[in-house]
Amino acid sequence: MAGEKPLTVVTCTAPVNIAVIKYWGKRDEELILPINSSLSVTLHQDQLKTTTTAAISRDFKEDRLWLNGEAADVGHPRLQSCLREMRRLARKRRGGSAGAVVPLSLAYKVHVASVNNFPTAAGLASSAAGYACLVHTLARLYGVEGELSEVARQGSGSACRSMLGGFVQWLMGERPDGKDSIAQQVAPETHWPELRVLILVVSAEKKPVGSTAGMQTSVDTSPLLKHRAEAVVPERMAQMIQFIQQRDFEGFGQLTMKDSNQFHATCLDTFPPIFYLNDVSWRIIALAHRFNAHHGKTKVAYTFDAGPNAVVFTLADTVDEFVEVVKCSFPPGSNGDQFLKGLPARRASLSEELLSAVVLEPVPGAIRYILLTKPGPGPQSLDDPSLHLLGADGLPRPSA
């Protein structure tokens, strides 16, 4: 068609989120409907993000996907669910006013390239940011608006919470079609400016059991998980929302730790049992409790997902001291100057009293590095064409 560009390209970024009330267990595996609601904090994209470019052209022969520069399987059922849903919504929109960047034929094939600004090998959850980014980018490409967390959810449950910034709840919903199983913002990222997040990346040798397989075995075998979903989480959701609204770190921190511990208890209650925490994780838990006991209040709160890395919430005034405590407890190897990544911290001198009460048996090298970040906004659209991951030929650019 005269005047129509051969290639239409959109690039967006999306964040990682960390749950403080955990999602664990599905009632519908196809639609990814959970057995309980959950609540998370969206992390800042300056430190952790996925960037995705989607391009469409009448010249493309097939849908194609590249992950971190490598060609990947576009036939993955969850990816297909998201693509199908987005095309269905786009078709539905077609009846209305023009919304897409340019008029596009929905029969055209799409090329998608996605990269993370953090190493996948670090064991940090990337599927949430990945699917949130895919759905947001396709929405921009096709001009689809409205409730999209429901689509992201079908890529990975936790991805629906990455569609919004700040503090986000995923309502489990009741309907069999999942239309009410959506994410909602509880408070924006500006709500609690002092809140900080430290990711303690543990030196782990083996890859743990994936969440998808793990949680299904838990649903099938753990009576504790059933009790948790029915009798514990509903009350905790209400409490957590209140603690966040009141910026009550004591309440927020304690409930965060309790919920992480209960999630890992359900893993142990699964048969055969699943272990995500390792010896270093347990040492971090003990360290946090000694640190809080020394101060006589909750100053740091840990949470762990399906792996040994700790995510520690704290307030800005505690960061310097706690980073120093972690350094003394897990003395870095040769990378001492690169031990802290992300936001900066100042050197703190620790009192003898604190050292003797909190730093007990240092384990050199057990933590690879700390990433310091804070709550952040939801997915963003990038306008600068130089940031596209796909070139004019629709293939990954060499730098991407």
CB atoms inside a 10 Å sphere around CB 30? 10
Count helices and strands in the chain by DSSP H and E runs:
10, 17
**Distance between CA 245 and CA 206 in Å, rounded?**
39
Q: How far is the CB of 247 from ligand DP6 (least distance, A)?
A: 22
Under rule CB under 6 A, how many of the chain's residues touch ligand DP6? 15
Q: How far is the CB of 125 from ligand DP6 (least distance, A)?
A: 6
Please report whether residue 157 would count as binding ligand DP6 according to CB under 6 A: yes
Query: Among residue numbers 294 through 323, which ones bind ligand DP6 (CB under 6 A)?
Result: 305-306
**Distance between CA 153 and CA 148 in Å, rounded?**
9
Q: How far is the CB of 130 from ligand DP6 (least distance, A)?
A: 10
* Backbone torsions φ then ψ of 34, nearest 5 degrees: -85, 165
| Closest residue by beta carbon to ligand DP6 | 157
Please report whether residue 260 would count as binding ligand DP6 according to CB under 6 A: no
Q: Which of 52, 114, 116, 156 binds ligand DP6 (CB under 6 A)?
A: 156
The count of C-alpha atoms lying within 13 angstroms of the C-alpha of 322, restricted to the half-sphere facing its C-beta, is: 31
The beta strand positions in the chain, using DSSP E, are 8-15, 17-21, 26-28, 33-34, 38-42, 49-57, 64-67, 70-72, 109-116, 167-170, 183-187, 195-202, 300-303, 310-315, 340-342, 367-373, 380-382
Query: Among residue numbers 126 through 145, which ones bind ligand DP6 (CB under 6 A)?
Result: 127
Q: How far is the CB of 28 from ligand DP6 (least distance, A)?
A: 11
CA angle 103, 389, 81 (to 5 degrees): 60
**Two structure tokens written together for 67:** 């992950």
CA angle 148, 154, 160 (to 5 degrees): 50
The count of C-alpha atoms lying within 13 angstroms of the C-alpha of 375, restricted to the half-sphere facing its C-beta, is: 26
Q: Which of 42, 211, 309, 380 binds ligand DP6 (CB under 6 A)?
A: 211
Enumerate the H helices of 95-153 as residue ranges: 127-142, 149-153
Q: How far is the CB of 5 from ligand DP6 (least distance, A)?
A: 36
Please report whether residue 158 would count as binding ligand DP6 according to CB under 6 A: yes
Please report whether residue 167 would count as binding ligand DP6 according to CB under 6 A: no
Judged by CB under 6 A, the stretch of 139-147, 154-162, 293-301, 365-373 that binds ligand DP6 is 154-162
57 vs 266, beta carbon nearer ligand DP6: 266
Q: Which of 7, 10, 12, 19 binds ligand DP6 (CB under 6 A)?
A: 19
Query: Among residue numbers 369 through 398, which ones bind ligand DP6 (CB under 6 A)?
Result: none
Determine the residue type at 286: A
255 vs 306, beta carbon nearer ligand DP6: 306
CB atoms inside a 10 Å sphere around CB 400? 18
305 vs 324, beta carbon nearer ligand DP6: 305
**Pick from 283, 297, 375, 296: nearest CA to 325:** 283
124 vs 390, beta carbon nearer ligand DP6: 124
**Distance between CA 137 and CA 62 in Å, rounded?**
18
Query: Among residue numbers 59 through 88, which ones bind ligand DP6 (CB under 6 A)?
Result: none
Q: Which of 14, 31, 32, 172 binds ligand DP6 (CB under 6 A)?
A: 32
- Tell me which residues touch ligand DP6 (CB under 6 A): 19, 22-24, 32, 38, 125, 127, 156-158, 211-212, 305-306
